[in-house]
Structures are given as structure tokens and as C-alpha cells.
Amino acid sequence: MKQINNQSEERSDFISDFKNQIARYTDTLSETSDEIRYAEHIVPHKGKEIIPGMEYEDYIDIKKKNLKGLTYDQILLFLKNTTPPNGRIKKFKNFLSSKDIYFESGLWTWHNKDL
């Protein structure tokens, strides 16, 4: 599913949604005027989390000035053709590194008291 927000020149594409006995995994690719972000969201099922209510986002941020000609659509195609759910972010990091494209990555965690 593609969403475009013309007011802020943003684009966002939903890549996948996967559930297993441990958690729900979703991943998205989004674009702003100066950056592209890939994010994998992990929401453990109740009783399966390490810390109750904890959610996670593993992300990669790429400044557009560092893309070396790579486009959003090319990245989207690469991600959609990479086998989910495990290993997609690692494969994407390896791909960017092989093209000598600088990126930042990390893991965000937060507590959702409603879970």
C-alpha cells in the first residue's frame, strides 16, 4: 500500500506484515525531502516480551545526498524482493555498504503501557 502526502512531500510504502508465535513484525520505507528511512517494527505478543509492553524499531536512515544515484523506487524494489522477515535489514545494510553508501542505523525501544 502506497501513501503520498503532498503537503509535506513525504512518501511511505508498507512492505510487509508478518506474525508468528512471538511477535508481529511490520516494515516500511519512507521518504522526506532530504532522507529515506527503512524501519522494521517489532511488537512482541503479550506474555512473549522480555519487558512487558516493550516495542522495538530497527531502522536505517540515508541522507539523499549520500545515495550516489540510487532512487527510492530502486530501494523499494530491493526490499520487496528480499526475503522477510528475518534478515531483510541485514541484507539492506550489506547492500548499502557494498555500494559505499553512508547510512545511520539503530534500534529504538519504547514502552507501551497499553500492551
Does the predicted model carry a pTM greater than 0.85? no
Instruction: Tell me the per-residue pLDDT of 24-47, one tens digit each, with 9 for 90 and over.
Output: 999 999 999 999 999 999 899 888
Q: Average pLDDT, whole number, for the chain?
A: 87
The strand pair at 10-19 and 35-44 is best described as unpaired
pLDDT score, position 32? 96
Q: Which segment, 49-58, 62-71, 87-96, is predicted with the most confidence on average?
A: 62-71
Distance CA 23, CA 5 (A): 30
Domain boundaries, position 6: 2-111
pLDDT > 80? residue 7: no
The amino acid occupying position 49 is E
For residue 49, the 8-state DSSP code is -
- What pLDDT score does 84 carry? 65
Q: How many domains does the chain have?
A: 1
Residues sharing a CB contact under 8 Å with residue 62, sequence separation 6 or more, in sequence order: 35, 36, 37, 96, 101, 102, 103, 104
**Kind and range of the H or E run holding 75:** helix 72-80
